[in-house]
Amino acid sequence: MIKGATLLRKRVGIIIILVIVLIVSLMFFLIYTRQDRFRSMFKENLEESFSDMTGADVSIRAISGNPFKKIIFKGLRFDFGKYSLDFDIARLEYSLFDIMSGKKSATDKIETVMTLGKGSLRLENNALISRQIKGKIRLRQGKIILDKITFRVFDQLLSYIEGEIITESRPYRLKLSIEAGPFFDKDKPLLEKIRIGVRGSLDNLNVRGKIERPSVKDIHFNSYLIYEKGVLNIGSRLGIEAEKGNINHIISMDTEFDTEKAAFNTVLIPNNGRIFINGDYSKWGTVKADIKNRHLKICGFDFSNIVYLIGKVVFKRGSFSHFLIDIDTEASIFNYYPIDEVASSFLIDKQSIRVIYLKIGNIVAASGNFNIKPPRKAQVKINFSDFNLEKPFLISDKENLGISGKLSGEILINGLLSKPNVGIKFVVDDGHFDVIDYDTMSINGDGTWPYLRIYDSRIVYGDSSLTLSGEVDIRQIRGKDFLENIMISTDSNTIKWEGWDITKVDEKDEFSLKKMLSGGVRVGYKTYMGDETKYNIDQPRDEFQLEYDLLDDESIFEFRAKEDEEFLGFRKRYSF
């Protein structure tokens, strides 16, 4: 009897297991056979739900994946009209089985978590502004939470954004934090990081942040954006860190954008002077601006002019290609002195900055190319034509170092920016160099920064000439020792320029050099550069001079020597 009961229980257990297996198999069969219908319903439901949450026209190209794995979207698009967000792939953090089993609803009322990948931001003309957008968003009723979304702008500026967008209010309210990495490259960047905080409604935003720069103090900024009846007003204040957490003002900006006319007016207020900008952006991708600078103080100098700027962003096949920037000036005045006008054109792409042309009046013309990313190289050519060497001293109101003349020639720069190869070829006419007058001075040099080897160079005055050779350190161009290693050769002697006082060649072809030593001792040398083709019986003889100032303001001990003649004695000075 007991054995029969045991056998019955075993049979009932087997039947129950078979029924459970049958039910589960039937359920899986139903899920499998009806998954396409569930997917279609789920897709339509999500599109409608996302549209309500974001205010965009949302479309999903396809939903794929195993019914028991996380749902994968292909071709998720948010169309906001003037711009759109497209994601090649997105993934929900639950499966179709979770929905059908009641574990999750099609659009969870509590939170829908979505992981985004391979996203891009495009304008209405399909121009690509940003790509490589990825990260995680959480969709809640009346709120979109951004969980550190990373992206790039024009393939250069790596950034991330996190925070929340409140969609239950109109206009939307934002509470976002944005951080941008270094421009172009981490090696010697223009900046280390930009941090921005955005708060408020879309029609009344407050923006605060700072720009972290390598080896220098950070720049802080504070802005407001107010939008009303088609007009956007932006006010900004920039300052630099000072002691005890204070911020020293650098510049303020107030701008008004007329969105209907696609025009703007800006006033920039630095600590000294004013900048007025009128602009137009009615043609897509192009900005035109007239900039009027009034009495700006630059390194202590007063500067005014009008700048005409045209900037254009160029796309090819929908992707960013390059920027084109043209800059021309008018009515330029520096320290109340008229200066030559600038005409220039630049092309900036992902790899380099190209100077298509840069002209300063008719006296300077330059072109070249600078690599943005390592290895940073430069290829530059600068031409000069009748450049007045006295003009920089005149307009800057600085003491002339004894240089005059009109310079023509070229500078060539090629190689790594940190240590480029430099070549110069200059000809200067009708001037003087310190106390040396010349008709023509020709300078030829080459080398690797900062050293320049001078060769085949000479100073010519009438029938006389000096030959120059040696090496200079370009970094010391304003220092007293700049010409320390330059050798000056005459027809009869070679001297080394080390603080010699050189008097000019006079009508008698006399060339005199003097140098002050310590303790009141002065040594001198006098020679003559006569024309060897002329027959002259009374050719002057070279003379060596040695003087010792007795420091009594009256007496000098003097020694002079030349061929077959010597003199030793005292020389008195008298004051009247």
Instruction: Give per-residue pLDDT as tens, 282-292.
Output: 888 899 999 99
- Residue 94: name the closest of 85, 102, 86 by CA: 102
pTM attached to this predicted model: 0.67
- Residue 3's SS3 state is helix
- Residue 353: name the closest of 344, 365, 342 by CA: 344
pLDDT of residue 532: 46
The span from the CA of 409 to the CA of 417, in Å, is 22
pLDDT of residue 324: 94
Q: Where are the domains of the chain?
A: 2-118, 284-371, 375-498, 499-576
More confident residue, 95 or 362: 362
The span from the CA of 72 to the CA of 91, in Å, is 4
In this predicted structure, which of 234-248, 293-307, 322-336 has the lowest mean pLDDT? 234-248
The DSSP symbol for 503 reads P
Tell me: cis bond preceding 374? Omega within 30 of 0 counts: no
Mean pLDDT of 341-348: 94
- Residue 432: name the closest of 524, 487, 502, 362 by CA: 502
Pairing of strands 451-461, 436-448: antiparallel
pLDDT category, 206, cuts 50, 70, 90?
very high
Q: Strand locations in 96-168, DSSP E?
A: 112-123, 128-140, 143-153, 157-166
Which residues pair with residue 57 across a beta bridge?
79
Helix, strand, coil share of the chain (percent; to 5): 15, 60, 30
Q: CA-CA-CA-CA torsion for 277, 281, 282, 288, nearest 10 degrees?
A: 60
Q: If phi over 0 gives left and psi between -120 and 50 gives alpha, with beta otherwise, what is residue 527? A: beta
Q: What are phi and psi of 262, to 5 degrees?
A: 55, 50
pLDDT of residue 304: 93
Residue with tokens 């900037």: 311
The span from the CA of 423 to the CA of 57, in Å, is 61
Mean pLDDT of 260-277: 90
Which residues pair with residue 204 across a beta bridge?
201, 226
Which residues pair with residue 202 across a beta bridge?
none
Mean pLDDT of 350-361: 91
Q: Which long-range contacts (CB under 8 A, 24 or more apart) does 59-65 make?
A: 63/39, 65/95
pLDDT of residue 319: 77
561 vs 494, 495, 524, 529, CA distance in Å? Answer: 19, 19, 11, 19
pLDDT of residue 7: 55
pLDDT of residue 495: 47
Mean pLDDT of 14-27: 54
pLDDT category, 572, cuts 50, 70, 90?
very low
Tell whether the model's pLDDT for residue 22 goes beyond 60. no
What token pair was written down for 127? 């121009």
- Residue 22's SS3 state is helix
The span from the CA of 442 to the CA of 469, in Å, is 12
C-beta separation of 256 from 229 below 8 A: no
Handedness of CA 528, 533, 539, 544 (dihedral sign): positive
pLDDT of residue 20: 53
Tell whether the model's pLDDT for residue 277 goes beyond 70. yes
C-beta separation of 339 from 364 below 8 A: no
Neighbouring residues of 225: CB distance < 8 A, sequence distance ≥ 6:
204, 205, 206, 207, 232, 233, 234
pLDDT of residue 292: 94
In this predicted structure, which of 83-87, 339-343, 360-364 has the lowest mean pLDDT? 83-87
pLDDT of residue 265: 94
What token pair was written down for 423? 């070549």
In this predicted structure, which of 52-56, 58-62, 148-152 has the lowest mean pLDDT? 52-56
- Residue 224: name the closest of 245, 202, 249 by CA: 202
The span from the CA of 349 to the CA of 6, in Å, is 85
pLDDT category, 298, cuts 50, 70, 90?
confident
3-state secondary structure 508-541: CCEEEEEEECHHHEEEEEEEECCCCCCCCCCCCC
* Mean pLDDT score across all residues of the chain: 76
Q: pLDDT of 492-521, one tens digit each?
A: 444 444 555 555 445 555 666 666 655 555
pLDDT of residue 363: 92
pLDDT of residue 83: 79
- Residue 234: name the closest of 267, 210, 261, 262 by CA: 267
C-beta separation of 378 from 414 below 8 A: yes
Top mean-pLDDT range of 115-124, 189-198, 357-366, 462-471: 357-366
More confident residue, 112 or 30: 112
What token pair was written down for 159? 């950034």
Which residues pair with residue 107 across a beta bridge?
none
3-state secondary structure 230-287: CEEEEEEEEEEECHHHCEEEEEEEEEEEECCCCEEEEEEEECCCEEEEEEECCCCCEE
